[in-house]
């Protein structure tokens, strides 16, 4: 039941929160109830003229604006064009931390400055289609804009890692060698998880193996695992991680071979000789 007295009091006191909620709850009756019609007209005129005075992140104001949008879009009460434009721009301003929502509203008035800015920002994030000879069969997209600074990092962090990688490639010439492989990509979690301690379970999803040899003939099955140790493995934290890694692989029924230079002159050829000896 609509309380007409409360509506009249709300109009007099400019109690916008009460008015918009009442209108929203009774939106189907706005055009047939003169007092609701008056409440809608008063709310729209007064609220939209004052809305600039409300903080952008005031949740109640955002809610009121969106309820008014629903009332208009649903045809329950149509506001005039200038008020509708004002309504949309105010919603867009208050949605700048929700770009997708702001973009959907902005499309209603794309020529308005605040809307145009949102559309430009959103469209920067949309990958562009790249035309090529097989466009009808394969779609290719690419980010429209990228940073002017190249933040890429080299795969290997030391000369020693490069030498060992090439030593593995030469030794296992008919296999595939991958560096820095996640443990979770190598061992079956469902079969292994109940065998692991809570610390090992946590490390399972964080740890990597320096070098892994895969047999591509049998579905890229990992067959050899190598760790290239250095002085960086001497810290207590690193030793704990190495222990967890070794324990996980031991419980998984496979071995990790750990290799560490004792002589700085050790090079790629020395690694090749060592690897061949180890896998005999």
Encoded tokens for 104: 């959907």
Q: Report the predicted TM-score, pTM, of the whole model to 2 decimal places.
A: 0.62
By percentage, how much of the chain surpasses pLDDT 70?
Answer: 100
For the segment 30-44, the average pLDDT, to the nearest whole number, is 87
Tell me what pLDDT residue 1 has.
60
Distances (CA, A) of 123 to 63, 89, 99, 116, 147: 26, 18, 10, 11, 16
pLDDT confidence of 20, banded at 50, 70, 90? Answer: confident
Binning pLDDT at 50, 70 and 90, where does residue 243 land? Answer: very high
**Could you tell me the pLDDT band of residue 13, with boundaries at 50, 70 and 90?**
confident
167 — phi, psi (to 5°)? -65, -40
Average pLDDT, the chain: 92
Supply the angle between the helices 16-25 and 4-13 in degrees, to the nearest 10: 140
* Per-residue model confidence as pLDDT tens digits over 45-92: 888 988 888 888 888 899 999 999 999 999 998 999 999 999 999 999
pLDDT in tens, 85-131: 999 999 999 997 899 999 999 999 999 999 999 999 898 888 888 99
d(CA 208, CA 182): 4
Does position 225 have pLDDT exceeding 80, yes or no?
yes
Measured CA to CA in angstroms, residue 172 lies from 36, 125, 129, 164, 272 at distances of 81, 43, 40, 12, 10
pLDDT digits (tens, 9 = 90+) for 189-209: 999 999 999 999 999 999 999
- Read off φ and ψ for residue 258, nearest 5 degrees: -100, 130
Query: Could you tell me what percent of the chain has a pLDDT over 90?
Result: 65
Element (H, E) at 258: strand 257-260
Burial class of residue 78, CB neighbours in 10 A (0-12, 13-18, 19+): middle
């Amino acid at each position: 039941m609509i309380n007409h007295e409360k509506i009249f009091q709300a109009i007099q006191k400019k109690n916008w929160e009460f008015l918009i909620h009442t209108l929203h709850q009774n939106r189907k009756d706005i055009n047939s109830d003169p007092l609701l019609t008056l409440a809608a007209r008063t709310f729209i005129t007064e609220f939209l003229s004052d809305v600039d005075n409300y903080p952008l992140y005031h949740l109640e104001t955002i809610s009121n604006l969106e309820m008014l949008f629903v009332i208009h879009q649903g045809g329950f009460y149509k506001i005039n064009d200038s008020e509708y434009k004002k309504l949309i721009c105010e919603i867009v301003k208050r949605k700048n931390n929700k770009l997708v929502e702001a973009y959907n509203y902005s499309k209603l008035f794309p020529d308005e400055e605040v809307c145009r800015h949102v559309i430009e920002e959103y469209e920067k994030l949309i990958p562009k289609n790249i035309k090529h000879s097989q466009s009808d069969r394969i779609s290719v997209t690419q980010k429209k804009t990228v940073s002017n600074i190249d933040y890429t990092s080299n795969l290997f962090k030391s000369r020693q890692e490069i030498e060992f990688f090439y030593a593995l490639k030469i030794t296992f010439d008919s296999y595939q060698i991958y560096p820095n492989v996640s443990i979770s990509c190598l061992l079956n979690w469902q079969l292994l998880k109940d065998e692991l301690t809570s610390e090992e379970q946590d490390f399972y999803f964080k740890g990597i193996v320096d070098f892994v040899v895969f047999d591509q003939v049998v579905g890229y099955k990992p067959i050899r695992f190598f760790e290239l140790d250095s002085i960086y493995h001497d810290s207590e934290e690193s030793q704990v991680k190495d222990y967890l890694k070794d324990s996980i692989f031991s419980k998984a029924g496979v071995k990790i071979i750990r290799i560490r230079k004792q002589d700085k002159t050790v090079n790629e050829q020395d690694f090749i000789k060592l690897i061949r000896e180890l896998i005999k």
